[in-house]
Chain A
């Protein structure tokens, strides 16, 4: 796909700690096209948020982006400094965070925060900025947007607040929005509404989304493509439907087996055994080896990236054979566009 809006190449982000260098993101690559939604999946601590922050140049010491490229419409933005990078943030790439309780300043009105966001990039009057803020709120389905501008964050529900955050991200019609677990803190029905809204926005405005989540059910219903991360690396990638129907990496298969929808009610959910390894002492070779049922003798060496049909990849010595029969999807709803 040459029309990628955002292409991340071999991104490396490290944290200097007392115990040594932590490779929180270790050679991550992916790309998103116009109007497409990429699901970035992985357990907590796998490096999803750090990937997002790295793309926006928001990593602060003791962390740093140590290598790789972030190509926005073909231009590497990792080398941008100071004000040049600030002009990209919010205008060309925007980000939405997980906890809507924390991402809005509790002592400032919604309107004040949105007007500041408009005026960060466009030198317009407060009045114009305010009307643009109002339009953005309407665009994400917030009722009586004019009144909401005068509200404080605590006067809105969690779902409303997250819509406000998405509206802020949309203000400058960015090419890409990185959404870092934006619906995790919300209940399921609100989550469903927001996912539908996001799908519509991607289709109508052509905005590309990187949708970070640890919830495969969300990805299966929303994303076009999927990237599974483990210990700072992408272990599997490909079209979402294909990956979910027939995972090639043992870790993806384990994650899928633990999703409730695919499982018979009343029996215990299988979990991926073991827990996320500490980045400080990753095992030699494949980081997943201690938890992997398929691990073999070769797994003490770093696995290669295996390329399969349909642009799928897996980082594994012994990838799972593809299954031919199409199993059921994870959820009954789907927000994926029929393509």
Chain B
């Protein structure tokens, strides 16, 4: 179970929230002149890192407000919660706990085939 700290209501169970996928995706200003490839990138492609991820949440069973979070997807640890009008925190603020791109963290992973 994850606890998420809504910037408006405080700490609540994750089941009160809905996830909105990657944060800071900007709609292209000139869709008409984009190539199919670039438009496809905007519509279908999202980052999917193992490790530090910027994402959106909405407190759907609470205040119904959207906000952003930085989470380590390899452990589900939430590292920062910030309002949508706040500046995106720098990647260098956070420590990646993985030794290799698809490695397993020592704590927080259920992959016991690899963790020893």
| Chains A and B form a bound pair | no
Chain A residues within CB distance 8 Å of chain B: none
Please give the residue numbers on chain B whose beta carbons come within 8 Å of chain A beta carbons, in ascending order: none
